[in-house]
Amino acid sequence: MSTGASVVTTGIAYYQIANGTQQPITYADATVGTIGLSATIASYYSGIAIPYVGEFVAIYGTVRLFWDLGQDYGPRTWYGKDDYKYFK
């Protein structure tokens, strides 16, 4: 399931880069996804585990998920269209 999710999210990141619709974070998503998939493939085919890659990818994915949720549902959306009204 984790590998499938990595394939999908990495594919979306590369698709956005190819179409020119990427955001600055898209490059980090593509890089982390590629590293995670490379480690998974190496482990599957050769049995070699690359230390700390799985943990890093899991932590990055969790932080990215909460970042996305915060952007869509966090404090900046509480005041309508004026995203930064609460700082004034």
pLDDT tens-digit series, residues 33-45? 888 888 888 888 8
Average pLDDT over residues 48-71: 81
Q: What is the DSSP secondary structure assignment for residue 3, as one 8-state letter?
A: H
In a domain, 73, yes or no: yes
In a domain, 88, yes or no: no
Question: What's the rounded Cα separation, in Å, for the pair 85 and 79?
Answer: 7
Number of domains into which the chain is organized:
1
What is the model's pLDDT at position 74? 66
Residue 20 inside a domain? The answer is yes
Domain span at 74: 2-79
Q: Evaluate whether residue 55 is within a structural domain.
A: yes
Q: The tokens of 40 are what?
A: 């998974």
- Compute CA distances 57 → 5, 53, 66, 78, 79, whole Å: 12, 6, 14, 31, 34
pLDDT at 79: 62
